[in-house]
Amino acid sequence: MDILDAILTRNEAASSPICRIRGFLDDDPNSWGRALEGYPVLGPLLQATQYPDCFFVNGIGSFRNYWRKPAIIGSTKLPLDRFETVVHPAANVSRFASVGSGTVVLQNATINSRARIGNHVIILPHAVVSHDVVIGDYSCLASAACLAGNVRVGIACYLGANCSVANGLQLGDGSLVGMGAVVLEDVPEVTVVVGNPARAIRSVC
C-alpha cells in the first residue's frame, strides 16, 4: 500500500497523471479477484507478460523473503526496462545521486550526493543514505535505517528499521542487519547481525 500511496501522491503532484494504475499481481491465490484500495488483484506474477502495455513496480521488501527477490522478479520474465522507478515527492534525492530501474524511494527518505542506488531496491520512509554509498540490486532499507558515507551494501541485503552502519563498511551479498543494530564492522555474505555493537548470530540460509 505504501508504494500505491507514493504513486498516487506523485500523480497528484504532477500537472497530469504520470501513471494509470491497472492493478496488482500476487502469487497468493487467496487474493485473486479481490480489490486493494479499489484496485483489482489480477492474478499471479506469471501473468505479467500478458500486459505488454504496462510497466511494473516491485513491492518485495520483507525480511522474510528478501533473499528470494531476484528469483521472484526473474519469474515475471520481464526485462529491466519494463519496471518503473518510483520516488515519492517528499523524498530528498540529490541531483548528484543515481537511482536504478525498478527502485522505490518512499517519503522523507534522504539520498545524498554521489550515492548510487541499484535496480529493484526499496528504501522505506526516513531512511538516510549518506554520500558515496553504493547499494546493490534487490536490497531493502527499512524505515529510518541510516548509512554513513562510503558504505557498500551488497546484492539482495536487508537492513532493518533504525539500524546504523558506520562509515566505509561493507555488507556482503544476502546479509541481514537486525532492527536497531549498530554495525561497526564489515558483515560477511548471507550473515545475520543484531545488537549494539552488531554481532553475527547465524547464516541467512
* Model confidence pLDDT, tens digit, residues 26-69: 999 999 989 989 999 999 999 999 999 999 998 888 888 899 99
In a domain, 26, yes or no: no
Whether 131 sits among the annotated catalytic residues: the reply is: yes
Burial 84-100 (b: 16+ CB within 10 A, else e): bbbbbeebebeeebebb
In the DSSP assignment, the letter for residue 89 is T
pLDDT tens figures, 170-190: 999 999 999 999 999 999 999
| Segments forming the whole domain that contains residue 89 | 1-19+55-205
CA nearest 106: which of 34, 188, 10, 204? 10
pLDDT of residue 17: 65
Burial of residue 202 (number of CB atoms within 10 Å: 0-12, 13-18, 19+): exposed
In the DSSP assignment, the letter for residue 16 is S
Q: Which of 88, 120, 126, 131 is catalytic?
A: 131
In a domain, 137, yes or no: yes
Write down the pTM of the prediction.
0.93
CB 205 within 8 A of CB 190: yes
pLDDT tens figures, 126-146: 999 999 999 999 999 999 999
Residue 91 is part of a domain; what is its CATH number? Answer: 2.160.10.10
Number of domains in the chain: 1
pLDDT tens figures, 58-96: 888 888 889 999 999 999 999 999 999 999 999 999 999
In a domain, 29, yes or no: no
In a domain, 198, yes or no: yes
In a domain, 7, yes or no: yes
Residue 168's pLDDT band (boundaries 50, 70, 90)? very high
DSSP assignment string, 51-77: -TT--B------TTTGGGHHHHHHTTT
In a domain, 27, yes or no: no
In a domain, 25, yes or no: no
In a domain, 75, yes or no: yes
* Mean pLDDT, rounded, of the chain: 94
With a cut of 90, say whether residue 205 has pLDDT above it. no
Cell of residue 35, nine digits: 480489490
Cell of residue 177, nine digits: 542487519
